[in-house]
């Protein structure tokens, strides 16, 4: 029964093996699809995810067909010659697309950025708006739409300002020698502790960091949640300046000592 020839040299058994191979490939593609959907749904847009899943599923089924072909007496070696040549031509024609696609896959796997992150890639900085399979869309700080090919994203140094939950800010201030540094420390510490977004743990620190010729150097350090870091840093700098002025604590003007001989 299984040896019955259907056409050419292909038997019922060959057909059954081929059908089984395709069925297994189909099941694997479905499982991979479900896995990709679960693991990537938070990191990539739905439409892009659907495209990616379709491409991956099609590739798995094609591999299944490829593996099942020997049962039809089609030899892989012959296909490799034909497929290899065609593949070479295609690869040259689409190498950039393939490179961007591959980079997109690796970016999704590595996840150095996610939608909403504030990042800098080379000279482009802004918020990640969309992550596609071939490109990443960034809205710069002044509202400009920038499409960056994924190959560039993947091979460049990425600075992600939001990857960690908190960031530290630091100011370096100078006050004159005739002003009360203890008062300055108290005033600035009070401002830091009153600001809701300056973290209580790790707590802020204000201290004298150097005694310089032009004045006493002080450092102000604190931590803020990454999403509001810029706002906190700017707000506090203005508040510190106003509070220091109110207390009569001034930043000394730079001093230049000129020495010379006869005029």
What residues from 109 to 168 belong to the interface with another protein (CB under 8 A)? 164-168
Q: Which is nearer to another protein, 68 or 222 (CB)?
A: 222
228 binds another protein (CB under 8 A): yes
Find all residues with CB under 8 Å of 163, minimum gap 6, and list them: 112, 117, 226
Burial classification of residue 173, based on how many CB atoms lie within 10 Å of its CB (0-12 exposed, 13-18 middle, 19 or more buried): buried
Given a contact cutoff of 8 angstroms between Cβ atoms, the answer to whether 127 and 226 are in contact is no
- Count of CB atoms within 10 A of residue 165's CB? 10
Q: What is the closest distance, in whole angstroms, from the C-beta atom of residue 200 to another protein in the complex? A: 5
Q: Does 200 bind another protein (CB under 8 A)?
A: yes
Q: Least separation, in Å, of the C-beta of 237 and another protein?
A: 19
Is residue 70 part of the contact set for another protein (CB under 8 A)? Answer: no
Nearest to 106 by CA among 125, 134, 147: 134
Choose the binding region for another protein from 68-76, 132-140, 176-184, 191-199 (rule: CB under 8 A).
191-199
Q: Is 196 among the residues that bind another protein (CB under 8 A)?
A: yes
Q: Does 192 bind another protein (CB under 8 A)?
A: no
Cα separation, 204 vs 161, whole angstroms? 20
Q: Minimal CA–CA distance to 171: which of 114, 123, 219?
A: 219
Nearer to another protein, 201 or 257 (CB): 201
- Please give the residue ranges that form the binding site for another protein (CB under 8 A): 164-168, 196-197, 199-202, 223, 225, 227-228
């Amino acid at each position: 029964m299984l040896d019955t020839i259907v056409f050419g040299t292909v038997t019922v058994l060959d057909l059954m093996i081929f059908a089984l191979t395709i069925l297994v490939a189909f099941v694997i593609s479905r499982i991979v699809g479900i896995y990709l959907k679960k693991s990537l749904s938070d990191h990539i847009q739905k439409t892009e995810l659907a495209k990616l899943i379709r491409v991956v599923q099609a590739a798995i089924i094609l591999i299944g067909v490829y593996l099942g072909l020997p049962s039809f007496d089609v030899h892989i070696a012959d296909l490799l010659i034909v497929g290899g040549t065609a593949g070479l031509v295609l690869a040259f024609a689409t190498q950039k697309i393939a490179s961007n696609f591959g980079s997109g896959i690796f970016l999704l796997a590595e996840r150095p950025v996610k939608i909403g992150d504030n990042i800098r890639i080379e000279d482009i900085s802004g918020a990640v708006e969309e992550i596609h399979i071939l490109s990443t869309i960034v809205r710069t700080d002044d509202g400009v739409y920038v499409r960056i090919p994924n190959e560039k994203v993947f091979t460049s140094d990425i600075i992600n300002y939001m990857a960690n939950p908190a960031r530290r800010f630091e100011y370096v201030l100078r006050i004159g020698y005739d002003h009360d540094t203890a008062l300055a420390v108290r005033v600035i510490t009070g401002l830091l502790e009153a600001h809701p977004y300056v973290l209580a743990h790790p707590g802020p620190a204000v201290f004298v960091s150097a005694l310089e010729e032009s004045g006493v150097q002080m450092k102000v350090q604190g931590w803020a949640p990454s999403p509001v870091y810029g706002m906190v840093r700017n707000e506090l700098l203005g508040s510190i300046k106003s509070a220091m002025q109110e207390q009569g604590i001034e930043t000394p003007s730079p001093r230049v000592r000129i020495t010379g001989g006869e005029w």
